[in-house]
A and B are shown apart, each in its own frame.
Chain A
Amino acid sequence: MTERRRERIDRGIKKRSEDVFALASWREMLYLAGPRLLPVALVLFLPPLLSPYWQKVMLSVGVFGLLAVSWDLLAQAGMISLGQALFFGMGAYGAGLLDRYLGMPPFLSLPIAAVLGGLVSTLLLLPVLRLRGIYFSMVTLILPLMLVRVIEATKIFGGTEGLSGLTPWPSVWVEMYLILGALLAALFGFRRMLAADYGLVLKGIRDNDRSVTSAGINIYVYKAQALFIAAAVGGFAGAFMTHVYLFVGMPVFALDYSILPIAAAVVGGPGGLAGATLGAAILVPLSEALRGFGGLRIVFYGVFLVVFIVAVPEGIFSFVRRKYHQFERWVEVD
């Protein structure tokens, strides 16, 4: 009896476009550039076609996309964060405080709050950098929940009321292209960084930190740097949202900002940041589209999550990429 198994073969065009000769043909250049140009084109041309409501959803995609990229970046260095809300909240409160007490314009408070938020988050997590695996994760989960109670109890930064009446962005289009541009910059920039030697050291720390240490490399310096970069990206998203809501308060430390980025990265396929971005671009609109179900919305949302994870465990991005590069055929084996 003969059995059949699926054979996967690289497409000819993939092989052809792997070297410099790809430049000789439009088809091969398009094959290479297409997947990279598609998100850029979507970001440029999609927003004006949407209704104001779905434009707001696009903003959310940008924010959660950044948080998911930040999560994936940390995961690459072996740090599984359950507390993206910490980074988000730090940036959000940073921007709120700079606006309220120093009267800073949004375009100034955004980068400063991102960097400051990144620094404070890194300093808070510095003592537990030596912890690995779930122990590190638990601390990241707890910190934002603790900070909420600190703000509530000490009534600092507006306490439970928060800070409201903050400065808005000049226009909805500035808002839109700022966050989506930042998402694309983070996606392509950090993908490049991960592909370079620096990224290899980060992945080396994840896979075998002793081996990296025995190359004379201080793994804690690299972990702290990765933490700062990821926290600043998350902080950027938070600071941006502060100037959209014109308000900052305790909800910025909410669990949503921790969990949804992880779901996005897992559904999209962790590893290369593209999956995380794609995941956010699917899950955020999906969550909005399900609003018609009212109280059952979360149930249907959960069902979709489970279906994605069970049907495409490698992640949607990895699945699509495989289909793009390879074709499959059934072959008979003895």
Chain B
Amino acid sequence: MDRVDGVDPVDQRRDDDGHPFLRVEGLGKRFGGIQAVADVSLDLARGELLGIIGPNGSGKTTLVNLISGFVRPSAGEVRFRGRRIDRMPPHRIVRLGIARTFQMVRPFYELPAYKNMIIPLFSPRVRGLVGGKYGDRDAVALDLLEEVGFERDAFVAYKPAGALPQGYLKRLELAKAMALEPELLILDELFSGLSLAEVASIVPIIEKLRQGGMTLIMIEHRLRELFRIADRVVVLNHGRKIADGPPAAVMEMDAVKSAYLGAAAETAETSDPETEAP
């Protein structure tokens, strides 16, 4: 990702003073009468790929919204490299180096795909590096889009975003987040709505990002694909963390099975009631 001449902004601030890269402690969010996230704690090391899974409505997206500042927590705290970020507005958190994608992609449909990159490249975090000149900036945008699989020869990047299929829209969303040169990249259901082939073509992009030292959090429903690339998986159910560990181990846990398969699993497998999810 050394598209920009000069100092890599990430390298300049690599010293973490022994603080964990990301630490979430006792995080909770209540919307009226609904406890969306309750007492979630987790640590994330630099370079790790953490998957967050859980049934629908288990609080995955709320957790991401809490970390990225779009929602204020009602309890607990979030520290990014030792610095409390849970009271910061979202744009300040982005400037610290946490970029995210959204589950619902809503690009500027009438603009060509590469023009959609202007706003992230206009971000105070990277504006100085990219330069204001149209030629330079458009070249950076096209390079980024090529990185996420917009075939340059086919001029896909020049098509209006509204004319692109879902797979390309998701890639565009990924490229927009990558344009911010983040240190932590949070992908909210990047694979949802994509075919197996499309997912298979995005996985190498994520693996390449990891090789570059990127730390990632991925929310996914596509467990098979996620487990192939994740180092660690956190399982949420009713807003609580019910499991945390390597993918294979997590899926063997009874609490996870019953959370995913519900009462049917409990009666069918008649597992020990003591270990059921709360």
A204-B108 in contact (CB<8A): yes
B118-A200 in contact (CB<8A): yes
A164: Cβ under 8 A from any B Cβ: no
B91 to chain A: which residues have CB within 8 Å?
213, 215-219
Mask, A211-251, CB within 8 Å of B = 1, is 11111111100000000000000000000000000000000
> Which one of A208, A212, A215, A219 has the greatest number of beta carbons of chain B within 10 Å?
A215
* Complex: chain A residue closest to B100, CB-CB: A214
B119 to chain A: which residues have CB within 8 Å?
200-201, 204, 211-212, 215, 217
Count the A residues whose beta carbon is within 8 Å of the partner chain — how many? 17
B90-A213 in contact (CB<8A): yes
A210-B70 in contact (CB<8A): yes
| Chain B proximity of A221: nearest CB distance (Å) | 9
A214 to chain B: which residues have CB within 8 Å?
68, 90, 94, 99-100, 102, 177
B149: Cβ under 8 A from any A Cβ: no
A200 to chain B: which residues have CB within 8 Å?
115, 118-119, 122
> Which one of A197, A204, A214, A218 has the greatest number of beta carbons of chain B within 10 Å?
A214
Contact partner of B106 among A197, A208, A217, A218, CB < 8 A?
A208
Contact partner of A216 among B70, B115, B123, CB < 8 A?
B123
* CB-CB under 8 A for A215 and B102, given A197-B118, A200-B118, A203-B108: no
Mask, A184-221, CB within 8 Å of B = 1, is 00000000000001001101100110111111111100
| Chain A proximity of B28: nearest CB distance (Å) | 23
A201 to chain B: which residues have CB within 8 Å?
119, 122
Query: In residues 67-92 of chain B, which contact A (Cβ within 8 Å)?
Result: 68, 70, 89-92
B180: Cβ under 8 A from any A Cβ: yes
Q: Within the assembled complex, what's the spacing in Å between the Cα atoms of A213 and B180? A: 12
* Complex: chain A residue closest to B186, CB-CB: A214
Mask, B109-142, CB within 8 Å of A = 1, is 0000001001110111100000010000000000
B108 to chain A: which residues have CB within 8 Å?
203-204, 207-208
B176: Cβ under 8 A from any A Cβ: yes
B120 to chain A: which residues have CB within 8 Å?
215
Q: Within the assembled complex, what's the spacing in Å between the Cα atoms of A36 and B115? A: 26
A211 to chain B: which residues have CB within 8 Å?
102, 106-107, 119, 176
| Chain A proximity of B162: nearest CB distance (Å) | 12
B100-A217 in contact (CB<8A): no
Mask, A158-186, CB within 8 Å of B = 1, is 00000000000000000000000000000
| Chain A proximity of B56: nearest CB distance (Å) | 21
A215-B122 in contact (CB<8A): yes
| Chain A proximity of B70: nearest CB distance (Å) | 7
* Complex: chain A residue closest to B108, CB-CB: A207
Q: Within the assembled complex, what's the spacing in Å between the Cα atoms of A210 and B70? A: 9
Contacts A207-B108, A210-B102, A218-B91 aside, 9 further interface pairs with beta carbons under 8 A come to A200-B115, A208-B106, A208-B108, A211-B107, A215-B120, A215-B176, A216-B91, A216-B125, A217-B124
Using CB atoms and an 8 Å cutoff, list the residues of chain A in contact with chain B. Answer: 197, 200-201, 203-204, 207-208, 210-219
Top 4 A-B residue pairs of the complex, sorted by shortest distance between their CB atoms: A216-B94, A216-B123, A215-B123, A215-B120
